[in-house]
Chains A and B, each alone.
Chain A
Amino acid sequence: MDFKSILKKASFDFFFKAMQSVQSVIFFMNSYLAFPFRMNKMFLILLLLFSFESTVFAQANDADFLRSTGMIYCVIAVIAVVIIGLALYLMRLEKKINKLEKKYNNG
């Protein structure tokens, strides 16, 4: 098996596992929505983040897979964490602005 076919199989595997995790998230949500439980945005994002990480690290056990792609998914996970972290911080700032706006409009 040459490199390109391994890569093709690997990307298919990754996509498949990602779809699986999305399905499991939907299942998880359904099972929790039955309870009187208020799901906010943060929780949803954390859940999605968690599912993404689990798909990335599910690959970590497969040493051959990682070797074949030279551990490029580690770099992708790192970039994803940086972007998600910055986005979460900006969302916090936005919340502060929303509060100020409310104050300004009311007062």
Chain B
Amino acid sequence: MDRIKKHWWKILSIVLMLYTLIVGMGTPLKPGILEVYPYNAQAGTQLRLKVKGYNSNYDQNETTAWLKIDSSYYIQSRFCASITYDVMTAVFDIPEYLPSKDSIVQVNLIVSNDEDKGSILPSAVFIKQNAIDSLKGLAPWSRSNTLEEVYTMEEFRFPYRNVIYETVRNTFYHVALWFAMFILLIISLVYNVGYLRSPSLELDTKAYAFTAVAILYGILGLITGSIWAKFAWGAFWTTDVKLNMTAVAMLIYFAYLVLRSSIPDLDRRAKLSAVYSIFAFFALIALVFIIPRMTDSLHPGNGGNPAFGGEDLDNTLRMVFYPSIIGFTLLGIWIASLKIRISNVADKLQSQE
């Protein structure tokens, strides 16, 4: 029992990591629309749209589809016929005039049935109209801001997002790694400030161990992010401002390691590295949190947008994301504590000689 009392947080970290792996990988995505064919249509003709769904059940349910313009005008499909459980044909009678002043209008596709509930594909079809008359175009299109028949699914499933699909799960393994890195760096910041207030080599050892694990997490975060970027954005490294700024911040922390190893005198090393890492921490905040918000960024929650939320982090993702952060942080504290104990033993052996 004493063991459990002493090591409960290590057990908790393992349990949380297992929870992250099992629930994070085992929960299916909500149904979505992968792609449609054809992409182009002519106003005033009949459109037979072939729809390929993802995790959908078209064959066992009566499915309805809508074409929607500008999030307020829509027409309902004449009928939908399922081919397999994830492929169906939706037939639309497109009116001659569209409620728009453009000759080519992009239209969203909404598909709904009782089991899958609603799913949407933005800019699914481009409709061309020969003559433009937006007043005549109003009549055949129904007008509503929300489709009353369409609900979002309430089951515990992760949101389906176009372009990233299943990789939305990387939120638990890539994004959580960065959050854990920040928590570890804040712990080491506390030790560094503590060292400057009352210098003792013990505090310096602790600060160094936490920073080292944080740097490990940073490197892993860069590699995992690079893999995700290859799949989602098409290249291992892009000119995204957050990527480059994070790389700069990591270089600043590499310099911390070099600085430490280049000073043989223990007290001088401790004092210098404490001061340096406090500066490095605030440089990191400026580089990772402030600069990416000032320009455009591919990362969600950047480029002026105030928060990482909405569809990028909905409540189902949060159920796994927060435990994942805690799990990674506790694991990092565990590794750091091992590091601290090793260097304490090494110091003792050195002083005995």
Show the binding face of A for B, using Cβ within 8 Å: 2-3, 57, 60, 66-67, 69-72, 74-75, 77-79, 81-82, 85-86, 89-90, 93, 96-97, 100, 103-104, 107
Contact = CB atoms under 8 A, between A and B. Distances in A.
Contacts of B86: 2-3
Given A57-B230, A75-B169, A93-B342, 8 more contacts: A2-B85, A72-B166, A74-B166, A82-B220, A89-B213, A96-B346, A103-B349, A107-B349
Contact of A100 (B25, B177, B338, B342): B342
Contacts of A78: 170, 173-174, 224, 227-228
A interface, over-half SS: helix
Nearest to B212: A89
A107 B353 contact: yes
B342 A74 contact: no
B173 A70 contact: no
Contacts of A89: 213, 216, 335
Nearest to A1: B84
A33 to B, nearest CB: 30
A66 B349 contact: no
Contacts of A79: 21, 173
B289 interface: no
B interface, over-half SS: helix
B228 A96 contact: no
A71 to B, nearest CB: 5
B224 A81 contact: yes
Contacts of A96: 342, 346
Interface of B: 21, 25, 29, 34, 54, 84-86, 164-167, 169-170, 173-174, 177, 213, 216, 219-220, 223-224, 227-228, 230-232, 331, 335, 338-339, 342, 345-346, 349, 352-353
Nearest to A78: B224
Given A78-B224, A82-B173, A82-B177, A71 B335 contact: no
A74 B228 CA distance: 6
Contact of B34 (A67, A85, A90, A93): A67
A85 B177 CA distance: 12
A90 to B, nearest CB: 7
Contacts of B34: 67
Contact of B54 (A60, A70, A74, A90): A70
Nearest to B32: A70
Contacts of A2: 84-86
Nearest to B339: A93
A62 to B, nearest CB: 12
Contact of B231 (A71, A81, A103): A71
A-B pairs with the 9 shortest C-beta distances? A70-B166, A70-B165, A74-B231, A85-B220, A78-B224, A72-B166, A75-B169, A74-B167, A71-B167
B276 to A, nearest CB: 23
Contacts of B228: 74, 78
A79 B177 CA distance: 11
A67 B352 CA distance: 62
